[in-house]
Structure 1
Amino acid sequence: MAPKRTTRANPADTTATTSVTNAQLKAMIDQGVTDALAARDADRNTNGDDSHNSGTGVRRTERVARECTYPDFMKCQPLNFKGTEGVVELIQWFEKMETVFSISNCSVENQIKFSTCTLLAGALTWWNSHVRTVGHDVAYAMTWTDLKKKMTDKYCPRVEIKKLEAELWNLKVKGTDVIGYNQRFQELALLCVRMFPEESKKIERYVGGLPDMIQ
């Protein structure tokens, strides 16, 4: 017969004596452990299977960045380009597209595929013709830099580029409008890349257009 644990009431108390066998005590402990494990598993199922830093007790949730989809890309509102808007609009298309790449976390592999979906009218016809000429795989394997150069060659004829290069070479701050000078300089520099094979030359040209007191 297993020994009994007894709890004796105070003589002045009317509570009855309670006896608990070893087997009953063990069953109570086991049930408590089982309930605790069940509660832990339920919490994991609700909040995800989080891991803990070893020895610290600090919960760490590992998150995997979700790949940018085409709907994600379009939610960032990229500009359309038809090919008839002119040089300034082409520059703005380039700049806006690069902003969208950044904020949408668009992968390099999808940049050409997604960006060319914003081409319309004549620009879309030109792109589709290029795809048919070189093949789908080759066309969409090009880099964003290559696409910008190709579109610049197409929509900014050499005669037009020479005019822009002359404007850039003679560009100066008008009055105190340094902000306007900065914007126009950046626009022209994007298209007149042949003028500055070295970054130092571009900086020299930029400083040359500033008033003497700013220089």
Structure 2
Amino acid sequence: MFQNNNNSSTHNNHEGGQAPVYKQFMTFKPAEFRGSTYPIISEEWVQSMETIFEFMQITEVERVRCSTFMLKDDARIWWQGAKVALDLNNITWREFKEVFYGKYFTLSTRNKLAREFLEIKQGDSSIADYVKRFERGKYFAPMITDDSSMELNHFLEGLNATIRRDVRLSNPSSMRETVDRALMAEKDNQDIIREARAKRTSYQGRESHVPAMKRPFNQSFNRNALPQSSYNQAANSQHSQQPRNFYHNNNNQRFSQRPQQSQQSKRIQPAGSVSSTKSSNTPIPVCTICGKTHIGSCMQGSNVCFLCKQRGHI
């Protein structure tokens, strides 16, 4: 019986000259749709279905049946609830897309993508990535893409300035030619940057082998940068340039007149004595009278007290 049915089916197919719709549809290897939150994926799936239907030349109802056959997982569950409110015997492909877009590609999302396409810029992306974004976004702005000249100008305006300049100088006449010129301009710019970077690296390599230049002389006076002897000479030179009518004491204080000597320093030292005003660094000489070291007059044999320097109580 199974063999007879197959023969009958094969005979009917040959008589009709065409295989069943679902078999013909599956020969195109259609993509499955499992549901997605990314609207571009939903739009690409619808477009892939429409591309197959253009070759098959089938009715509106058959388009819907073939498309819903490829819904899987979450999308299949959604369709089981959505088809209840539809007349599946008279449904059109346009009605199915409206229901489908209401779930996976809302109007607000389409408007947002349209605005993004109107403001599209290359930025840091490559020409290949920019072209991909441009091709995806142009479906949401038919007011631009329906006019080839407007589409070409919109593509040029989104290119980076250096690449846009080179492309316009070549005066392309089609979108394909514009993309080719943009790809060549991008490659030329990359070659220029690569050569400049190689020259810079080579120059830095030569510079590292050159001996370091002597440090320029610092005109400002730095006490710590000079040897002690040089600093003393500089200080003496500055001191010698002071006005003659000014004097300095041991504390480096300036006076308009030389300080007066104390009365004690004016006294005449008696013979045989040693001056007490000499520097403490000078050794005290040995007295020739008593044979000891002391300063002042020697009291040996004078009946004078060594402590109070008075007579009459020794």
Instruction: Identify the TM-score tier after normalising by the shorter chain.
Output: 0.5 to 0.7
d(CA) in 2 for partners of 1:182, 1:68:
39
SS in 1 for 2:89: helix
The structural deviation recorded for 1:146 is 3.7
Matched with 2:48 is 96
Matched with 2:155 is 209
Q: Which has the higher contact order (CA 8 A, sep 6+)?
A: 1
Matched with 1:187 is 136
Structure 1 residues 165 and 86 mapped into 2: Cα distance closer, same or farther (>3 Å)?
same
The structural deviation recorded for 1:122 is 2.5
Is 1:137 matched up with 2:84? no
State whether residues 144 and 151 of structure 2, in contact with CA within 8 Å, keep that contact through their aligned partners in structure 1.
no
Is 1:160 matched up with 2:109? yes
The structural deviation recorded for 1:165 is 1.8
1:116-161 per-residue CA deviation (whole Å, 9 max, x = no partner) reads 11112222222222321123324xx212x44334322321234433
State whether residues 87 and 155 of structure 1, in contact with CA within 8 Å, keep that contact through their aligned partners in structure 2.
yes
State whether residues 43 and 105 of structure 2, in contact with CA within 8 Å, keep that contact through their aligned partners in structure 1.
no
State whether residues 68 and 106 of structure 1, in contact with CA within 8 Å, keep that contact through their aligned partners in structure 2.
no
d(CA) in 2 for partners of 1:157, 1:120:
20
Is 1:199 matched up with 2:126? no
Matched with 2:33 is 81
2:64 to 102, 112, 116: 112
- Structure showing greater Rg: 2
Structure 1 residues 168 and 96 mapped into 2: Cα distance closer, same or farther (>3 Å)?
same
Where do 5+ consecutive residues of structure 2 fail to align? 1-14, 157-163, 173-177, 179-314
Where do 5+ consecutive residues of structure 1 fail to align? 1-62
Relative to the length of structure 2, the TM-score reads 0.39
State whether residues 68 and 107 of structure 1, in contact with CA within 8 Å, keep that contact through their aligned partners in structure 2.
no
Alignment of 1:31-50 (within 5 A): none
d(CA) in 2 for partners of 1:198, 1:180:
19
d(CA) in 2 for partners of 1:189, 1:147:
23
Higher strand share: 1
State whether residues 25 and 52 of structure 2, in contact with CA within 8 Å, keep that contact through their aligned partners in structure 1.
yes
Alignment of 1:164-183 (within 5 A): 164-173=113-122, 177=127, 180-183=129-132
Is 1:71 matched up with 2:23? yes
State whether residues 145 and 151 of structure 2, in contact with CA within 8 Å, keep that contact through their aligned partners in structure 1.
no
- The one-letter code sitting in structure 2 at the alignment partner of 1:209 is F
Relative to the length of structure 1, the TM-score reads 0.54
